[in-house]
Amino acid sequence: MRYKILVTGKNDSAITAFFEQITDDFVVLSSSTRYEDIVGHIDYFAPHAFVYCLYNEARDSIVQMLSISSRLMRSNIPCIILGSKEDCDEFQRIAVNVASLVLHRPLSATAIKEKILDFMEQEGLNGDENEDIVMAGQMENQGTPEPMPELRSLEDIMSVSHKKHVLVVDDNPMMLKLIKEHLHEKYDVATAVSGKVALKFLERRSTDLILLDYMMPEESGTVVLEKLRAKEATKNIPVVFLTGVTERKKIKEALVLKPQGYLLKPVDRDKLLEEIAKHIG
């Protein structure tokens, strides 16, 4: 039985610890701090908890949580903040009564895991025995999405980013983490653990480019690309395959659907940025 945890924030080292050290008890998915991405992941991933990893967060990002917290509360999803005492105090001063659990760093990954597990038990929250089935069922039953609230006065919620948006689709959490680290300074990055999650995400959200794993269980990258090309809303989104396959025949098969490009794993950061820049700048 495992808990689904959605993590976001500017503290990359804390987010990395979730992916690398505590995945035995958690199914971890990361999101950019963009409003649309966070709300989309809450809807489609249906996490048991939302973790904000703080590091010198801008006031606007914290104020944004006042809007996101209402979505969390309606779904009984607790908000956990993790950061230095100063960062946590500033968060609580601006976003009053949003955090259900406050974790002050420095804390080891083991200590973070134990505190979150204890909190979930105290709150009576149960994990999923088969998170894939639960995710699929919840996503298929989503209603009409709630519109994004209007921006508050004094530009309190500056959640609209001028960065281009990239959606990364891969069933390997470590690959998602790595690519997000490569891209987050220049692009807004959202991640999806399967083609199904990505397609659901794109029903209500938009992206400028998709990095798509070629080899995935259930639906391969080629199947996902075919579905993208078959829909008016997504047919023109640039798609770049990520593949660990080096066999020439397999590469030719990957190129039949005419993706905008492909990159071999392990992904080189410079080549990744160069490839994306070709298509969206």
Q: pLDDT, tens digit, for every residue of 21-42?
A: 776 778 888 888 888 888 888 8
Three-state DSSP at 117 gives: helix
Which amino acid, one-letter code, is at 3?
A: Y
Q: Is 54 exposed, middle or buried (0-12, 13-18, 19+ CB in 10 A)?
A: buried
What architecture is the 165-280 domain classified under in CATH? 3-Layer(aba) Sandwich (3.40)
Instruction: Write the CATH number of the domain with boundaries 3-153.
Output: 3.40.50.2300
From first to last of its 281 residues, the chain has per-residue pLDDT tens of: 678 899 998 888 888 888 777 767 788 888 888 888 888 888 878 899 999 999 988 888 888 888 888 888 888 899 999 999 999 999 999 998 899 999 998 888 889 989 999 998 887 776 654 443 333 333 333 333 343 333 333 233 334 456 889 999 998 888 888 898 899 889 988 888 888 888 888 887 889 999 999 888 778 888 999 999 999 999 999 999 988 766 566 666 667 778 898 888 888 999 999 999 999 98
Chain segment 247-270, per-residue pLDDT in tens: 566 666 667 778 898 888 888 999
166 phi, psi to nearest 5 deg: -125, 130
Q: Where are the domains of the chain?
A: 3-153, 165-280
Three-state DSSP at 46 gives: coil
**165-280: same fold as 3-153?**
yes
Are 57 and 27 a contacting pair, CB within 8 Å? no
Chain segment 137-163, per-residue pLDDT in tens: 333 333 333 433 333 332 333 344 568
**Contacts of the segment 10-13: beta carbons below 8 A, 24+ positions apart:** 10/53, 10/54, 10/55, 10/56, 10/57, 11/53, 11/54, 11/55, 11/82, 11/83, 12/55, 12/181, 12/184
Q: What is the pTM of this model?
A: 0.55
pLDDT at res. 89:
94
Are 63 and 94 a contacting pair, CB within 8 Å? yes
